[in-house]
Homo-oligomer: A and B are copies of this chain.
Amino acid sequence: VVTLLTDYGPGSEHVGALHLTIASLLPGADRIDLAHDLPPGEVRYAAVVLARLAAVLPGAVHLAVVDPGVGTPRRGAAVALRGGGALVGPDNGLLGPAARALGAVGAVALAVPPEAPSTFHGRDVFAPAAARIADGADPAALGEPYDPAEIVVPDLPEPAVAPGRIRAMALGTDRFGNLELLAAAGDLAAAGLADGERLTVRAAGGVHDALLGRTFADVAVGDLLVHLDSHGLLAVAVNGGSAAAVLAVAPGAPVTVERRA
């Protein structure tokens, strides 16, 4: 099994090229598309998505490419995982959370073929490495080993928590406009916030009333819901609408959720 996660865009020829490369080296491999609509170049969000999806199949080879620095000296890596699988992609922060969550037991800096163009390491470096590892190759045979402790971890700031108040980084949004924040159940508990509380949400797009609830129907259509999403992260949603549009925050920007007086 080889999984694929990129910011190439769904249905793009770049995704097709990864599939073809893997299929040509490893006919019959089960190739699973994890996500291709990730925001271009947003390494942090992609790193969080990779970590949670890879955890479902820890024994697979996970090919991930969000690589705004392709062609610069950043390492391309293959990371061997405790569970038998591997991560393959640029070592620019993308692999860090998954490597920590799944346990990195080895890392190699992948060699770049001298004739490869400087702009498509997904096709020319990472997909071939993923196919070879899925075919049983030892990652150590594909490049220079390095200490897995050196794998780059992205800057994912802890939320600032005070009584009745959480200030967290906006991570990203999905097609439904759900805005995911870098905070979790423990932060809600630490802030003393409980289900059913009336909240205020502050972001670039202004100040909005919200409810701390469990599902979209807990609020009226058009109203804001703050909830723990299906990945255990704090998220803002609008029932039948888009929190991303209402709050108008870019990935990386701060959002404050606090008890309404």
Contacts and interface: CB of A to CB of B under 8 A. Distances in A.
Given A117-B230, A118-B215, A35 B20 contact: no
Interface stretch (A8-16, A130-138, A140-148): A8-16
B23 A30 contact: yes
A56 interface: yes
A35 B53 contact: no
B240 A41 contact: yes
A124 to B, nearest CB: 7
Nearest to A23: B32
A1 interface: yes
A11 B30 contact: no
Size class of the A contact interface (CB-based, 8 Å): 35 or more
A215 B57 contact: no
A42 to B, nearest CB: 12
Main SS class of interface, A: loop
Given A11-B11, A34-B13, A71-B214, A40 B119 contact: no
A98 interface: no
A216 B49 contact: no
A256 interface: no
Interface in A35-82: 35-38, 40-41, 49, 53, 56-57, 68-72
Given A30-B27, A40-B176, A119-B230, A53 B20 contact: yes
Interface string A165-180: 0000000001110000
Interface string A138-167: 000000000000000000000000000000
